[in-house]
Structure 1
Amino acid sequence: MGSLDGRRVVVTGASSGIGAAVARAAADAGARVGLLARRADRLEALAAEVGGRAGVADVTDAAAVTRAVDELAGALGGVDAVVAAAGTMHLGAVSETDPQRWREVFDVNVHGLLATARAALPHLGEGASWVTVSSMSGRRVPSAAGGVYAASKHAAHAVDETLRREAGARGVRVTTVAPGFVATDLMAGDEPGREDVAAFRGRMHELGLTPEHVAAAVVHVLGLPPEVCVVEYALVSSAQQRG
């Protein structure tokens, strides 16, 4: 992985899963990290582990995200990169799903992404990087049960295309990292007792990448020379490819 010596990197969704793995990998590569998530206890523990700064906020609260990003930028002396890794997933066919589930998915995966971008863009200048951790589901709809999640990730890809036009014009590199299955607890509390959800969760853990695999991809992107912008970095495990 490339060196991030001295780079100031803010990571959302940093209290667990891919976000936590990115924070650790960036710190190992020499970055100074700012961590943003809503679970204060986990966030403070990780900040202590990696020597980073913690900013507690729910990405669905735009005002709170702006305050947290501004505070982290002040503590770090600026921001060179933002990795937007906050996300959630619920499964279910449109005809069978509580509309509140739709709102939860879009609030985090789309509105939260937009709120983070709005907060971060004033701090990102020439040579800075923005990375969205999206999904292969942002490129196709894998199943009827995954359709709402896929719709949110298609929107995330569209947000990055927009940011490329808005911030790319002033030298900010915008990258979408799109993994396939990843063995995380993204669906840990989803629909207890539903066999289809349990089976899908099992496939994610059996066939998926680890969070560390995705974190390595993110650090690779961040460590490239400033004249190189990766538009999209799509990756799946060899096991998922075979499956």
Structure 2
Amino acid sequence: MDKVMVIAGASTGIGAATARQAAEAGYRVVLGARSQDKLEQLAQEIGGIAVQCDVSEYAQVEALAQRALDEFGRIDAVFANAGVGHPRGFEAGDPEDAKQMVITNVFGIYATIRATAQALRDTRGHLVITSSIAGRRALKGSLYSATKFAVTGMAEAARQDFNGTGVRTTLISPGMVQTPGFSHELEDVLTADDIARAVLFALAQPAHVDVNEILIRPTAQES
């Protein structure tokens, strides 16, 4: 039986690249994101299912998980990848945008874990969470960095909570990645496909091997 993967934050960047690679690896993929047009286009491309989902709304995350269960009866892997950025500097940007980023980046991960936890326990599945190198070292004036510190802690809290159930938990912490909404001073940054390969690597390990974190930088990145 083909395994089923749910991806929250699937319409572009790392989420979309992971969806493509997962489909190639034989997963049946259920895609969630706010951008319905991009999501449906990707679903048609890879043969997945598109579900419009804003992770800041718990009912929508529940609906994403339920759609996977209704269609396939199981969830074997969950990629909690939804996230947004915000300008650096505590006096920069719009406070309402900053508030929404905190909700998306932190509550959205919690919501994804909560909505899929029982299904993952049922299959002894795998939870993968996107954080960032910014969740390991503070960036000057960066509330985004603070949200990723929270996500890094949440991944370990989830690992402990799932301990003894057979569910594996992997935190993906990329350095500089060429992805929508972010710019970097380096030319040779990571691509979304690079991160997707790391996700599929963790998923492909034997059931007794839990790759808890992958920290991945471009070779040119200094810190």
Query: How far apart are the structure 1 equivalents of 2:171 and 2:201?
Result: 13
Which sections of structure 2, spanning at least 5 residues, go unmatched?
A: none
Q: Contact (CA 8 Å) 1:34, 1:76: kept in 2 or not?
A: no
1:130 match: 127
* Conserved 8 A contact 1:183-1:210: yes
Question: Is the counterpart of residue 161 in structure 1 residue 142 in structure 2?
Answer: no
Compute the RMSD of aligned alpha carbons: 1.6
Instruction: Count residues with an aligned counterpart.
Output: 222
Q: Which moved more, 1:28-37 or 1:163-172?
A: 163-172
Equivalent of 1:143 in 140, 145, 158:
140
Matched, 1:20 2:1: no
Residue 97 of structure 1: CA displacement? 4.2
Hey, what does 2:73 align to over in structure 1? Answer: 77
Query: Percent identity, aligned pairs only?
Result: 38
Cα shift at 1:54: 1.4
Match of 2:171 in 1: 176
Stretches of structure 1 that go unaligned for 5 or more consecutive residues are: 188-200
Is residue 109 of structure 1 aligned with residue 112 of structure 2?
no
Determine which of 63, 84, 90 is the counterpart of 1:67.
63
Determine the structure 1 residue equivalent to 2:214. 233
Q: Is contact 1:9-1:33 (8 Å) kept?
A: yes
Q: Is residue 2:11 matched to residue 1:10?
A: no
User: Displacement of 1:74 after TM fit?
Assistant: 1.7
Q: Structure 1-normalised TM-score?
A: 0.87
1:56 positional shift: 1.1
Measured in 1, the distance between the counterparts of 2:165 and 2:54 equals 28
Structure 2 residue aligned with 1:194: none
| Whole-Å separation in 1 of the counterparts to 2:199 and 2:166 | 19
Note if contact 1:17-1:186 (Cα within 8 Å) is conserved in structure 2.
no
TM-score normalised to the size of structure 2? 0.94
Is the 1:59–1:112 contact (alpha carbons within 8 Å) kept by the matching residues of 2? yes
**SS of residue paired to 1:216:** helix
**Which residue of the partner structure matches residue 209 of structure 1?**
190
Matching residue's letter, 2:110: L
CA-to-aligned-CA distance 1:164-214 (integer Å, 9 cap, x gap):
121233111011000001101134xxxxxxxxxxxxx1426x242000000
Cα deviation, 1:127-162, whole Å, max 9, x if unaligned, reads 310000110111001333xx2011000000111111
Check if 1:48 corresponds to 2:44: yes
Between the aligned partners of 1:139 and 1:162, the Cα distance in structure 2 is 16
Output the amino acid matched with 1:81. A
> How far apart, in 1, do the equivalents of 2:100 and 2:185 lie?
23
Q: 1:168 and 1:55, CA in 2 relative to 1: closer, same or farther beyond 3 A?
A: farther
**Structure ranking higher in helix proportion:** 1
Deviation at 1:239, TM superposition (A): 2.1
Q: What residue identity is the alignment partner of 1:134? A: S
Hey, what's the Cα distance between the residues in 2 that align with 1:21 and 1:203?
A: 23
